[in-house]
């Protein structure tokens, strides 16, 4: 089973794909979709949608998960993040895949054991769980963490 995880952001959305076979996980691919800050909001959302759709079509995952939005002190930033997250949910759902959503604290707890883990701790655990993984960046690492969390949650529901 292939699982795609997404870490939404308007400037940069991370994506990561893992394969699950029984209780074993392996890295398939990871990357980041960056949008042009000088483009309009609509153009940036179209870029995000197009590139995520290309990733989904290239890898053909069986299931997907998206990190939930946290509320910033800046309401405008939160709205933009929410719009990018909507595109992420749409890209997976439009492909006919089931979509799950996970809070950042749950993802951190699932990987590191505490919901307040630092990004460096999450990335270190990714290297343990996915030996040899080369991370495309922090957002891609977060996306892989979302995919792993979903893979583990799928196992617990069965």
Catalytic positions are 7, 67, 139
Burial 129-152 (b: 16+ CB within 10 A, else e): bbeebebbebbbbbbbbbbbbbbe
Task: Work out the number of other CB atoms within 10 angstroms of the CB of residue 155.
Answer: 12
SS3 138: helix
Torsion on CA atoms 153, 154, 156, 158, rounded to nearest 10? 160
Positions at the binding site for Mg(2+): 7, 67, 139
DSSP string, 68-115: PPPPPSSHHHHHHHHHHHHHHHHHHHHTT--EEEE-HHHHHHHHHS-T
In the DSSP assignment, the letter for residue 3 is E
User: Which residues on adjacent β-strands are paired with residue 99?
Assistant: 64
């Amino acid at each position: 089973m292939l699982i795609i995880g997404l870490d939404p952001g308007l400037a940069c959305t991370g994506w990561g794909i893992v394969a699950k076979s029984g209780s074993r996980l392996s890295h398939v691919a990871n990357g980041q979709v960056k949008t042009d800050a000088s483009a309009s909001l609509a153009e940036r959302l179209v870029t995000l949608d197009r590139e995520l759709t290309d990733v989904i079509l290239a890898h053909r995952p069986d299931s997907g998960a998206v990190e939930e939005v946290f509320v910033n002190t800046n309401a405008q930033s939160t709205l933009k993040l929410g719009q990018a997250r909507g595109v992420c949910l749409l890209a997976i759902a439009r492909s006919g895949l089931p979509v799950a959503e996970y809070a950042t604290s749950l993802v951190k707890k699932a990987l590191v054991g505490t919901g307040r883990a630092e990004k460096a701790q999450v990335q270190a655990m990714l290297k343990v769980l996915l030996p040899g993984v080369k991370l495309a960046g922090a957002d891609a690492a977060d996306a892989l963490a979302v995919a792993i969390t979903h893979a583990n949650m799928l196992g617990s529901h069965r």
